[in-house]
Amino acid sequence: MCACRCGIRVHLQGDKVRYIEGNPDHPINRGVLCAKGSAGIMQHTSPARLHKPLLRVGERGAGEFREIEWDEALATAADWLGEVRRTDPKKLAFFTGRDQSQSLTGWWAKQFGTLNYAAHGGFCSVNMAAAGLYTIGGSFWEFGEPDWEHTRYLMLFGVAEDHDSNPIKMGLGRLKTRGNAKFVSINPTRTGYSAIADEWIGIRPGTDGLFVAALIHELLRAEQIDWDYLARYTNAHWLVIQVPGEAQNGRIARSAEGEPLCFDGAKQAVRRASDTDAAPRLVGACELPNGRRAVPAFQLMAARFLSHEYAPDTVAAATGIPAAQIRRIAAEIANAAFRQTVELPVPWTDTAGRRHDTMVGRPVAMHAMRGISAHSNGFHTCRMIHLLQMLLGAIDVPGGFRFKPPFPRPCPPGPKPSGHTVAPDTPLDGMPLGFPTGPEDLLVDSDGTPKRIDKAFSWEYPLAAHGMMQMVIHNAWAGDPYPIDVLFLYMANMGWNSSMNVPETLRYLTDKRADGSYRIPRIIYSDAYSSETVAYADLVLPDTTYLERWDCISLLDRPICSAEGPADSIRQPVVKPDRDVRPFQDVLIDLGARLRLPGFAKDDGAAVFPGGYADYMVNHERAPGIGPLAGWRGDGDSHGRGAPNPDQLQRYIDNGGFWQHHLPAEQTYFKHANRAYLEYAQKMGWIPNAEPIVMQLYSEPLQKFRLAAQGHGEVQPPEALRQRIEHAFDPLPIWYPPFEEAAFAGEDFPLHAVTQRPMHMYHSWGGQNAWLRQITARNRLFVHVDTAARLGLADDDWAWIVSPHGRVKAQIKRLHGVNPDTVWTWNAIGKRRGTWSLDTDAPEATKGFLLNHIISELLPARADGHRYANADPVTGQAAWYDLRVRLEKCVSSEAGGTAPQFASVPPVTAQPPAPSVLRYGAAFDRRSTGVGTEDHLEWVGNRREYAASDSGVRPGHGNRTDKPAKGSVP
């Protein structure tokens, strides 16, 4: 149901879902289930489910559709898409939301031939992912996890309760039960995990970089850093060329063979940085063989962070954290790292062939998420957190942060983005998304004009590794850089809570040219529910719910591995749809065949995967022997690589829906330099070779962009962008004020405004779930008690939240657990009237609200009138949390309901009316049915059939019988 991707078991009674429990064997959640997971029955039976394909007959936004059959729906889509592919494939913009099938959708876009593809990462957490992948070859969440068993000091930065939800809950439970570790949460709001932190640091939003910089300052000042770790595993000792004004300035000094160089203090000579017998110096200038001056990267870093700019006393006011507290935290970190060292009796061998008898670690672990990421300075803040980890020697060591396979990967991992050439009826030469390593990899024309509709990989957002979904609708409307013909969206509520500036977004979707045609000519949308976006589509392809389709959580996508080993999983349908809906992945594969896309259709036009997504999951090979699922390949005995195995899905089913490989103990830490692990990773196809992965304290790819901005190289930015690039592409982490704050701070907008995800909701999808709505059906604005007193606000008062871009009316709730300069609310609770099959006077519509309405997707105009996206200048990450506001108490006549209110959307044509009272489960009542005894229940969640001797109830494993499984198998 959400990006946590826990394993569940589904119990049926007859053909109805009776009960959902956590799968106790599943590597992600080990049986733990959150409120959302428990309430999945209501997600599955929601009255808001779409029932049939729809073709718009009224005006966009009016919600007037004609029900059509799938033949017509697919023929229409294929007709629209086929015309685009035959003429100019980039005129298709295909953007998907928080689905789990991005390796399929990305490959489909590649085969279609459009570069205009991305999933939702650009508006979520690309800063976190990109900064990690360019710095340490991994990142948090799917890429790595705290060493819950051994850490002595855990720092959570900007983490709400949703991403990686159950593993963090379990981990915190273990950590706090152990009683020998401290948990510090750095977050403007004290909700969720922060509520059980041993110390909550209510930082001012957007200043985490300053706080981390001050910690680094203190650790450097006290020399509480791991010199050995830095020299062995990072590029701290790599020599950086110092020739100001020249094209090589700031580049890494390399040998003729391209090997990075260091200065050996013992031999007093320049040597290869990878020479294991060298004694590399981390400070001190030297002369290179060509006469140029160079200094180690560490020296440049130390000079920056030892400066007064990042001293605790300097940053205290901006962060809202007293200098003494910063110093104390730094001392606690140093104490945990260097005086509570963890040593595991596990021998291992590094890539240089050195045998280590034990694994020694610095037990300080960190995890960061969207609160860090969703700022216009987020990329560098994320890099700074990784720098702190490197200095402590706390990456992939006992007690520290641990990589999850298939990470670490080289920094950056590659491949580069494709789309330099787009031609009719021609696939791209690679995947649309990737990792640029220099200006030559940007997708821009010779004059610097972006090639992508969202402007990802342009000079404005060069490392937009996840695309910029948040800009697609605006740019498509504006025809900037060019108009498109078809906007194809899946599972992203872009007409509401997934967009900044909702009022204008709705205008973009409905705006027409002088000739009466829509500026965005055609919109295809797939969703399972009657969300706010449905009314704006021309063609609606209704998806199934999550219990009605096959799916896979693939190593090619965003896998479910743990630091202990790789894993992937499947989802299998347990009930048959009772509506005329189809899994989106099946539909996409069908469309691929109809469009005769290579890989989807054979030469004679026959479908390559007539069995839909399940067929693809088993038989698709991205590279020889490598497919979506890693387990039980070939004859069933191999994993990772191997021929397609027709029994593969059954093997997953037999194993509870997942595959997992446990790494031998010698491979479980130091993966970046662990010979046995890296050889295994190469064999699995995760990395190109078994060379050590050197963490990049100093980033040469960033310096390449900076040099281009300074006038060097073949590919240079347009004049107006030089200064922005030069500033943002600092090869060392920096902090600068978030852009909105720089533009609008002060008396007019003195407060920050942020959202938090409720742990019982996921995006907007929980808002139509009858059980979850009983927990939260409306939201208030939370204000610190002192701030509220100053503004004359009391609980339940109504107030206008005014930003530079508009105002929203909400009801106030005071609390202590928030930074006094910050107000916050729950994300995505507010709904538009008439949607999600809710009553028009549902509290979600009358008392719920979104901050999205007052967040601009664009920054204020530059001197020449140009407006950048409200985003990080390195990655294009949407800067949701840069919002600045003031509060104005409503007069009494304004109290009583949220504003703005949008026109009610009529119920989707032919959608069965929602019952006024839901009576789910009445049929299960023994008194009315006479059944419901134990042997009436069937466990079909993993499709195993049990022998009579194995029937009965096993604690924690649900009711199992020897009856054959029922429910649907497609």
Residue numbers at the binding site for ligand SF4 (CB under 6 A):
1-2, 4-6, 29, 33-34, 36-37, 165-166
CB of 766 to ligand SF4, least distance (A): 9
CB of 202 to ligand SF4, least distance (A): 26
- Cα separation, 767 vs 484, whole angstroms: 32
Angle at 445 between CA 440 and CA 447, to 5 degrees: 100
Nearer to ligand SF4, 168 or 587 (CB): 168
Nearer to ligand SF4, 412 or 766 (CB): 766
CB of 226 to ligand SF4, least distance (A): 35
Scanning the structure block, which residue is given the tokens 């959708």?
105
CB of 940 to ligand SF4, least distance (A): 18
Nearer to ligand SF4, 63 or 167 (CB): 167
Q: Is the dihedral of CA 21, 27, 30, 32 positive or negative?
A: negative
- Cα separation, 684 vs 625, whole angstroms: 10
Nearer to ligand SF4, 125 or 166 (CB): 166
CB of 170 to ligand SF4, least distance (A): 11
Residue with the shortest CB distance to ligand SF4: 37
- Cα separation, 398 vs 400, whole angstroms: 6
Q: Which of 372, 359, 365 is nearest to 392 (CA)?
A: 365
Nearer to ligand SF4, 34 or 509 (CB): 34
Nearer to ligand SF4, 36 or 383 (CB): 36
Query: What one-character-per-residue DSSP string does 59-70 give?
Result: -TTS--EEE--H
CB of 416 to ligand SF4, least distance (A): 33
CB of 660 to ligand SF4, least distance (A): 17
Nearer to ligand SF4, 1 or 556 (CB): 1
Nearer to ligand SF4, 2 or 751 (CB): 2
Torsions phi, psi for 679 (to 5 deg): -65, -40
- Cα separation, 765 vs 532, whole angstroms: 11
CB of 207 to ligand SF4, least distance (A): 30
CB of 549 to ligand SF4, least distance (A): 15
Q: Which of 670, 675, 146 is nearest to 358 (CA)?
A: 670
CB of 36 to ligand SF4, least distance (A): 3
- Cα separation, 253 vs 691, whole angstroms: 20
Nearer to ligand SF4, 6 or 336 (CB): 6
CB of 98 to ligand SF4, least distance (A): 11
What pairs with residue 569 in β-bridges?
553, 658
Angle at 423 between CA 419 and CA 425, to 5 degrees: 120
> What does the block give as tokens for 457?
């990989």
Q: Which of 307, 270, 267, 266 is nearest to 285 (CA)?
A: 270
Please count the helices (runs of H) and the strands (runs of E) in the chain. 26, 36
Nearer to ligand SF4, 225 or 491 (CB): 491
Phi-psi domain of 828 (left: phi exceeds 0; alpha: psi -120 through 50; beta: other): left
CB of 142 to ligand SF4, least distance (A): 13
Nearer to ligand SF4, 35 or 55 (CB): 35
Q: Compute and round to an integer the Cα radius of gyration of the chain.
A: 28
Cβ-contact 11, 20 below 8 angstroms: yes
Scanning the structure block, which residue is given the tokens 């998420």?
369
Peptide bond into 481 cis (omega under 30): yes
State the DSSP H helix or E strand holding residue 283, giving kind and residue range, or none if neither: none
Cβ-contact 250, 703 below 8 angstroms: yes
- Cα separation, 513 vs 519, whole angstroms: 6
CB of 34 to ligand SF4, least distance (A): 3
- Cα separation, 123 vs 492, whole angstroms: 11
- Cα separation, 35 vs 39, whole angstroms: 6
- Cα separation, 783 vs 29, whole angstroms: 34
Nearer to ligand SF4, 30 or 944 (CB): 30
Amino acid symbol at 853: H
